[in-house]
Amino acid sequence: MATKEQAEAAAKAATGDSTPIEVRYMPGEIEAKWQARWEAQPDLYAAEPASSEKKKYYVLEMLPYPSGALHMGHVRNYSIGDALARYMWMQGYNVLHPMGWDAFGLPAENAALKNNTPPRQWTLSNIAAMKEQMNRVGFSYDWRNEITTCLPDYYRWNQWFFLRMYERGLAYRKKSKVNWCPQCATVLANEQVVNGCCWRHEEQIVEQRDLEQWFLRITNYAQELLDELSKMDGWPEKVRTMQRNWIGRSEGAEIAFELEDGSDATEEEEKERKKGTAMLPARAGVKGTGQKIKVFTTRVDTIYGATSLQLAPEHALVKEMAASDAGLSDAVAGLLEQQRKAREAGDVGAIEKHGVFTGYYAINPYSGERLPVWVGDYILLDYGTGAIMSVPAHDDRDYEFAKKYGLEIRVVILPRSHGEAAANGDRDLLPYTSEDSLLINSGEFNSMGCEEAQTKMAAYAEAHGFGKATVTFRLKDWGISRQRYWGTPIPMLYCAKDGIVPVPESELPVLLPENVEITQQGGSPLARMPEFVNATCPKCGGKALRETDTMDTFVDSSWYFYRYTDAHNDKAPFATDTVAYWFPIDQYIGGVEHAILHLIYSRFWTKVMRDMGLVKNDEPVERLFTQGMVIRNGAKMSKSKGNVVSPDEMIVRFGADATRMYSLFAAPPDRDLDWQEDGVAGVSRFLSRVYRFAMKHGERARDGAARDTNLSPESQALLRKLHQTIRKITEDFAGRWHFNTCIAAIMELVNALTAAEGAIGAGKVPDAVLGEALRSLTLMLAPFAPYLAFELWEYIGETSDLLRAPWPKFDEALAREEQIEIPVQINGKLRAVVTVGADAGEDTVRDAALKDEKIASLIAGKEIVRMIVVPRKLINIVVK
């Protein structure tokens, strides 16, 4: 109901009393009224069960971290999802639109340190505050399925999945490097390492430590994760490209070089051996030690141009060599130190390369030549085999390194146009890396093209037992151990007798203790709680120690959207058939910052669950939408930049409807949005205009009489604009999602309505037409400004539930223009505009154009060379 004041005003207007009584749009009052009503109906936004006859639609926005307050990025993200959910309800779908909390993570521990509040309490009170904000904005979430990842009824299933993966060999333990701050005495997440230093201790350089960690074997799925991408056309190409690069598949070959024994070296060789800058030629009787160095290369075709091997400083063989060579040991330590400092300085690409000769040589299995073995700080231990063959002539990095240390540079491929004549190659060309080339100086492979040589040389290696064609991925297994408190305990035990023993499923969940003391010292507080650490081995009944690491929070978000479909299941993470009804997610909406980690992990998790028989879908998300950032004064809103605008403040000043509608109006949803407060005021003014118009004329919409077929020109014009608007918005929801132009279209419609007020007042627009316009307008506002829409719906006498009221249908005949304006160009320049019937053919248009006075005078005395007539579009007369 409208306020008393407004009812009076409307009554006066209806009785023809012209005394102006101001009708004011007061979003605060309207929104409070409807919020109270909506909150009294807990099932308002409830999805129907999976047995529903209706077609399902699962729309999902990425769940927030409960930091304590919504920011504008949230409001934008959720306004997009909310508009879509409301639209799909109005289209008659069974809509699932849930929300939850990504509630584990570091900030809770930091807050605990700062305010002496337990992480759980801090997190839960933040959740309560943010939930209230969400309801205040009017988002249509089905809170019955709310999930909170830090509560045992959720995280117990993380543990359950972990055990299932352990059984299948998908979870394993190995040593791995972690960032360690000696002052905090704890491990840091990558995000907490700023310029190589601890985020809390700015002068403290972060160390790398080797720790035993749990890993999930995502690399088992690398190929499938890559292959599926090409079929996922509901995802932005940008995200797919980012994922492809992240997975980083490289085809190449693995080749084993045998270390040379060297004890029977000739005198000449001895001199050279000390320097390690040149190869030793092949000769009969060279002996090997039997020890092999495996290298990975994508360019085995250039192997005759390899003039050294380069090992990563951390390579196991380097450690072995250094063990008996103090000089080498010191040099390698120096390399590592230099490397660490260089990485701190940033700009990895510009870092100068360093290396040390080991004193050893290895035999090129193709040529028999002996290559000096070096340690190069530009070699990554954890990619490929941690060792490469260095081909200075045909690799940028190897070239730089060889120039610096005076290593040999041998050309083995040439551009096809060069022919074999230029046997030594053109030195100005180097490094020359094109694969559109021919081989030279490469024994029996000479004059082959690179690609052919790659295949043949890999086959040769395999036939001779020293190598093979192989595929390498950049993607690494997912380390999930975190030496932190506020996360899911990893359900594993360590028994002196039985080793690593999983916690039996019947003992889940392993509860995260709550009475912890969080201090800045000494890693996870769990390790200092004997009542947590000490346990009994389920195998032998003896003493066992509990794992004190917790899981990466990305585990929580890898499968949360499945839990929404069956959030209260205490027998399983979810029921398979319920998931089969709802999945895949029809539309997922969130920030592009999750393009890689979250969106790869959750794809991986889905495939694991599929292989376990828990789900039937291969991929979790059918369509993905990534909205742009919210920018203000040229930068992303952030506390440090001081350009944050609080949603609460906007809502108080302009109302929730105006705030969320502006977030959709100011830019297309996929682009960055420049926040301008005056723009919010403008949207608020627009809503106010709608409100006042409806209050003035809404009475006349109430009788709902059928429209007369005999329409006045004013009615026709109004209906045309109305149906054009319905068509535009309907088509946009189906495809483009340019909600900014949808809202602009609604504004145009309202402009047309207010412009027609004279005709409306003069009775030239019957109640039926006015009613149709007002009803449809209200329905179209519902996804964008739900509070106002509900208020108007009630005021114009509708009693049905607006949330599920059918979306208006457009009438193509009514939307069609009767007269259209056709621009007339002469030689491509606009000279006149003629008005013709909408379905005028080519001849009619041409005649009209030629008859136009201005056109006639302009072409008088000129020769018409050509005339292009595009019906309904334009006419261009080409004259000479």
Q: How many residues bind RNA (CB under 7 A)?
A: 89
* 287 to 306: interface string for RNA, x by CB under 7 A: ---------xxxx-------
Query: Looking at 673, 769, 785, 834, which residue binds RNA (CB under 7 A)?
Result: 673
Query: Looking at 16, 49, 290, 349, which residue binds RNA (CB under 7 A)?
Result: 349
Instruction: List the interface residues with RNA, window 454-473 (CB under 7 A).
Output: 472
Is residue 678 a contact point for RNA (CB under 7 A)? yes
Q: Least distance from C-beta 743 to RNA, angstroms?
A: 7
C-beta separation of 746 from 725 below 8 A: yes
* 470 to 499: interface string for RNA, x by CB under 7 A: --x-x-------------------------
Q: Least distance from C-beta 504 to RNA, angstroms?
A: 39
Is residue 219 a contact point for RNA (CB under 7 A)? no
Q: Least distance from C-beta 447 to RNA, angstroms?
A: 22
Instruction: List the interface residues with RNA, window 734-763 (CB under 7 A).
Output: 735-736, 738, 740-741, 743-744, 747-748, 751, 754-755
Q: Least distance from C-beta 754 to RNA, angstroms?
A: 5
| Beta-strand relationship, 673-674 and 630-632 | parallel
Minimum CB distance to RNA smaller for 79 or for 688? 688
Stretch that binds RNA, among 95-103, 176-184, 224-232, 679-687 (CB under 7 A): 679-687
* 366 to 395: interface string for RNA, x by CB under 7 A: -----------xxxx--xx-x-x------x
Stretch that binds RNA, among 84-92, 224-232, 454-462, 729-737 (CB under 7 A): 729-737
Nearest to 742 by CA among 779, 775, 796: 779
Query: Looking at 188, 342, 535, 855, which residue binds RNA (CB under 7 A)?
Result: 342
Is residue 773 a contact point for RNA (CB under 7 A)? no
Q: Least distance from C-beta 363 to RNA, angstroms?
A: 19
Minimum CB distance to RNA smaller for 131 or for 292? 292
Q: Least distance from C-beta 773 to RNA, angstroms?
A: 17
CA distances to 19, 262, 349, 369, 411 from 372, rounded to whole Å, are 100, 12, 25, 10, 18
- Calculate the CA 6 to chain-centre distance: 47
Instruction: List the interface residues with RNA, window 306-335 (CB under 7 A).
Output: 312
Q: Least distance from C-beta 351 to RNA, angstroms?
A: 4
Minimum CB distance to RNA smaller for 174 or for 343? 343
Helix orientation angle between 713-734 and 767-781, rounded to the nearest 10 degrees: 20
Q: What is the largest CA-CA distance in the chain?
A: 119
Query: Looking at 132, 444, 672, 801, which residue binds RNA (CB under 7 A)?
Result: 672
Q: Measured at the alpha carbon of residue 247, what is the angle toward residues 212 and 150, in degrees to the nearest 5?
A: 55
Give the Cα separation of 690 and 831 in Å (integer): 39
| Beta-strand relationship, 370-376 and 308-311 | parallel
Q: Least distance from C-beta 234 to RNA, angstroms?
A: 17
Give the Cα separation of 183 and 198 in Å (integer): 9
Is residue 521 a contact point for RNA (CB under 7 A)? no
Q: Least distance from C-beta 151 to RNA, angstroms?
A: 31
C-beta separation of 408 from 399 below 8 A: no
Q: Which two tokens stand for residue 418?
A: 């060069």
Q: Least distance from C-beta 550 to RNA, angstroms?
A: 24
Helix orientation angle between 786-795 and 27-39, rounded to the nearest 10 degrees: 90
Minimum CB distance to RNA smaller for 548 or for 627? 627
Is residue 575 a contact point for RNA (CB under 7 A)? no
Is residue 353 a contact point for RNA (CB under 7 A)? yes
Q: Least distance from C-beta 784 to RNA, angstroms?
A: 13
- Cis peptide bond N-terminal to 509, omega within 30: yes
Query: Looking at 213, 606, 688, 725, which residue binds RNA (CB under 7 A)?
Result: 688
Q: Least distance from C-beta 386 to RNA, angstroms?
A: 6
Q: Least distance from C-beta 285 to RNA, angstroms?
A: 31
Residue 667: exposure state from Cβ atoms within 10 A (0-12, 13-18, ≥19): buried
DSSP bridge pairs for 415: 437
* 795 to 834: interface string for RNA, x by CB under 7 A: --------------------------x-x-x-xxxxx-x-
Is residue 433 a contact point for RNA (CB under 7 A)? no
Query: Looking at 397, 563, 607, 700, which residue binds RNA (CB under 7 A)?
Result: 397
Instruction: List the interface residues with RNA, window 37-66 (CB under 7 A).
Output: none
Minimum CB distance to RNA smaller for 595 or for 848? 595
C-beta separation of 472 from 252 below 8 A: yes
Stretch that binds RNA, among 43-51, 99-107, 482-490, 677-685 (CB under 7 A): 677-685
Q: Least distance from C-beta 760 to RNA, angstroms?
A: 13
Q: Measured at the alpha carbon of residue 96, what is the angle toward residues 94 and 101, in degrees to the nearest 5?
A: 170
Segments in 677-803 forming alpha helices (H): 677-697, 713-734, 739-755, 757-761, 767-781, 786-795
User: What residue type is assigned to position 713 of the chain?
Assistant: P
Minimum CB distance to RNA smaller for 97 or for 723? 723
Q: Which residues contact 370 (CB under 8 A, 6 or more apart)?
A: 260, 279, 280, 281, 282, 286, 361, 362, 363, 364
CA distances to 371, 392, 855 from 388, rounded to whole Å, are 12, 12, 75
C-beta separation of 229 from 273 below 8 A: no
Q: Least distance from C-beta 303 to RNA, angstroms?
A: 10
Query: Looking at 674, 699, 714, 811, which residue binds RNA (CB under 7 A)?
Result: 674
DSSP 343-357: HHT--GGGPPP-EEE
Instruction: List the interface residues with RNA, window 827-866 (CB under 7 A).
Output: 827-831, 833, 854, 866
Residue 170: exposure state from Cβ atoms within 10 A (0-12, 13-18, ≥19): buried
DSSP bridge pairs for 767: none
Q: Least distance from C-beta 492 to RNA, angstroms?
A: 29
Q: Which two tokens stand for residue 855?
A: 């056109």
Minimum CB distance to RNA smaller for 274 or for 866? 866
User: What residue type is assigned to position 596 of the chain?
Assistant: I
Give the Cα separation of 238 and 592 in Å (integer): 9
Residue whose token pair is 């004890």: 263
Is residue 351 a contact point for RNA (CB under 7 A)? yes
Is residue 686 a contact point for RNA (CB under 7 A)? yes
Instruction: List the interface residues with RNA, window 629-668 (CB under 7 A).
Output: 636, 665-668
Is residue 731 a contact point for RNA (CB under 7 A)? yes
CA distances to 287, 367, 430, 461 from 284, rounded to whole Å, are 9, 12, 33, 20
C-beta separation of 824 from 834 below 8 A: yes
Cβ neighbours, 10 Å, residue 369: 19
* 582 to 621: interface string for RNA, x by CB under 7 A: ----------xx-xx-------------------------
Characterise 813 by phi-psi region: left (phi > 0), alpha (psi -120 to 50), beta (else).
alpha
Residue whose token pair is 């599920």: 804
Nearest to 391 by CA among 252, 593, 215: 252
Minimum CB distance to RNA smaller for 519 or for 751? 751
Instruction: List the interface residues with RNA, window 238-267 (CB under 7 A).
Output: 238, 241-242, 245-246, 248, 250, 252
Q: Least distance from C-beta 827 to RNA, angstroms?
A: 6
Provide φ and ψ at 7, rounded to 5°: -60, -40
Is residue 437 a contact point for RNA (CB under 7 A)? no
Query: Looking at 67, 91, 219, 339, which residue binds RNA (CB under 7 A)?
Result: 339
Q: Which residues contact 829 (CB under 8 A, 6 or more apart)?
A: none
Minimum CB distance to RNA smaller for 289 or for 825? 825
